Structure 1
Amino acid sequence: MNRTFATGVGLTVASVLGYAAGVLASYPGRAFALTGLMIGITVAAVSAGDGS
């Protein structure tokens, strides 16, 4: 597992937790959890197919 893939997975997990926290209690900037989720999935998917 390379570092970029691990970063993407970590960002995805953190974003899911942030989204869950936003469902339970409103906080400013909670919409960034969805942005982080999209970026995390993209980074993990792109780095998983790099062949290394």
Structure 2
Amino acid sequence: MNTVSGTGLVLSAGGVAGYLVGLAAPFPGRAFSLTAVMVGVTLFAVGRSDAPEATA
């Protein structure tokens, strides 16, 4: 697993944990947990991509 995929997994897990904590006890900035999940999933997908970049 490369670092981009690992970072995506960690960020997604942290976002889900923050979301669950936010359901139990609202805290300032809890909306950022959803952003963390979205960015984490994106980083995981980009890290898993084996396709080289296209050249123009």
Per the normalisation by structure 1, the TM-score is: 0.93
- Which protein has the bigger helix share? 1
Which runs of 5 or more structure 1 residues have no equivalent in the other structure? none
Instruction: Report the AA paired with residue 27 of structure 2.
Output: Y
Q: State the percentage of identical aligned residues.
A: 45
Which runs of 5 or more structure 2 residues have no equivalent in the other structure? 52-56
Per the normalisation by structure 2, the TM-score is: 0.86
User: Does structure 1 residue 2 correspond to structure 2 residue 2?
Assistant: yes
User: What RMSD over aligned residues (CA atoms) do the two structures have, in Å?
Assistant: 0.9
Alignment of 1:1-52 (within 5 A): 1-50=1-50
Instruction: Report the AA paired with residue 15 of structure 1.
Output: G
Structure 1 residue runs of 4+, over 3 Å off?
none
